[in-house]
Structure 1
Amino acid sequence: MIEVTAETFERDVLGSDRPVLLDFWAEWCPPCKMISPILEEIDREYGDKVVIAKIDVDEHPSIALRYDVIGLPTLNLYRDGEVVHQIKGARPKRAIVDGIAPHI
């Protein structure tokens, strides 16, 4: 799992040769903390097919604003620089995997 910043977003997310599941999160967000272990599991199981990344919206609000992220957690799946799927709120592992599977 990688940590993305406003400075690395273009390279790490939009320029990635693999799909990127980007977790918009914040330290104060309990549901964000709940899904973190789930994302780590997905990273271990699907890391060869998809990059799992996180961005702290408090530290890098410009990216959240750019993609109209208004609730946390929000998971955006980027492929070839475009958002192809979005998951809002904490979801179980199966729901996340089922949502991203068609795109990876």
Structure 2
Amino acid sequence: MLKKSILVLLGGASLVMLPSCDKLEGVVGQVTELVGVDSVFEPKERREGIAKPHKASVDDVNQWLAEPNVLVVLDFYSEQCPPCLAMAPDLAALADQYGDKAAVMKLNVGKSGPVAQMANEEYKVTQTPTLKFFLNGKEVKSMRGSQSREEIDAVFARYTAKVDGEYVMREGEMPGNMSGRTVEDMMQRVSRNELPKGMTRVIVPTEAKDVTGDLRSVLASGKLTPVKSEKE
């Protein structure tokens, strides 16, 4: 009886020390709110942006707008638009500055085609230049007409600050990610009798034979002896 009474008292004491279910849920809620459930259990991932403006197609735009946590900037311009040409260097500099979190899509609406049709029907673009900023698939800002670099920079800074999650490259490249060098930049033109730097010609005897196909038999015949290294 005494033993049972002690157990009851100990059980009651432990219940007094425990917080109520409501309080416990409140503590858990505060901890998860401060730490962030996503950051603990489901780290957010995103693609890296582009460090230079990308001359985009309709498919390029759709692919980038579907990506989370990247500020996508649609630059609707025309080659016959002086303010567009004046803003181009500033956009290039900002694309480089915010290239980790932003992707600038250049869309030439000055000539007929799918891009101009998309600009008119989907984005209701009526003048150039027009800049539209998208984050997580939603339009967050629109700027029409000539803009100073400071005005555009302020928008970049505001919305790239909302981009969260560590950069984790997903499989497959996105349009514009590898546009740092053009094909022409990577090609080296040489004359027919000129070799690229670092390469030399060798004279191959006419009686030489390919021995790699049956190397074991060649070694066994003694016609080709392996050379031992100095360490051996």
TM-score normalised according to structure 1 size = 0.89
Distance 1:88 1:16 in 2: 25
Question: What's the counterpart of residue 7 of structure 2?
Answer: none
Deviation per residue, 1:39-67 (Å, 9 max, x gap): 01101111112111201113411221111
Could you tell me which residue of structure 1 aligns to residue 116 of structure 2?
A: 61
The alignment covers a number of residue pairs equal to 103
Deviation of 1:90 (Å): 1.5
Which one-letter code corresponds to 1:4 in the other structure? Answer: A
1:89 aligns with 2:145: yes
* 1:46 alignment partner AA: Y
Partner of 2:176: none
Structure 1 runs of 4+ aligned residues shifted over 6 Å read none
Q: 1-side partners of 2:141 and 2:76: how far apart?
A: 14
| Number of the residue aligned with 1:47 | 99
Flag structure 1 segments of 5+ consecutive residues without an equivalent.
none
SS in 1 for 2:127: coil
Mapped partners of 1:7, 1:43: distance in 2 = 20
Residues 98, 156 of structure 2: 8 Å contact kept: no
2:66 is aligned with 1:15 = yes
Mapped partners of 2:138, 2:108: distance in 1: 20
- Please say which structure displays the higher CA radius of gyration: 2
CA RMSD, 1 decimal: 1.3
Give the superposition deviation at 1:7. 3.0
Alpha-carbon separation, structure 2, partners of 1:93 and 1:32: 12
- The offset of 1:101, in angstroms, is 2.2
Separation of aligned partners in 2, 1:88 and 1:34: 14
Q: Which has the higher strand share?
A: 1
Instruction: Give yes or no for the alignment of 1:75 onto 2:131.
Output: yes
Q: Alpha-carbon deviations, 1:44-94, whole Å to 9, x = none?
A: 111112111201113411221111111100000011112110111121111
Q: Does 1:26 align with 2:78?
A: yes
- Aligned partners of 1:70 and 1:100: how far apart in 2? 23
Mapped to 2, the partners of 1:33 and 1:48 lie a distance apart of 24
The range that moved more, 94-103 or 28-37, is 94-103
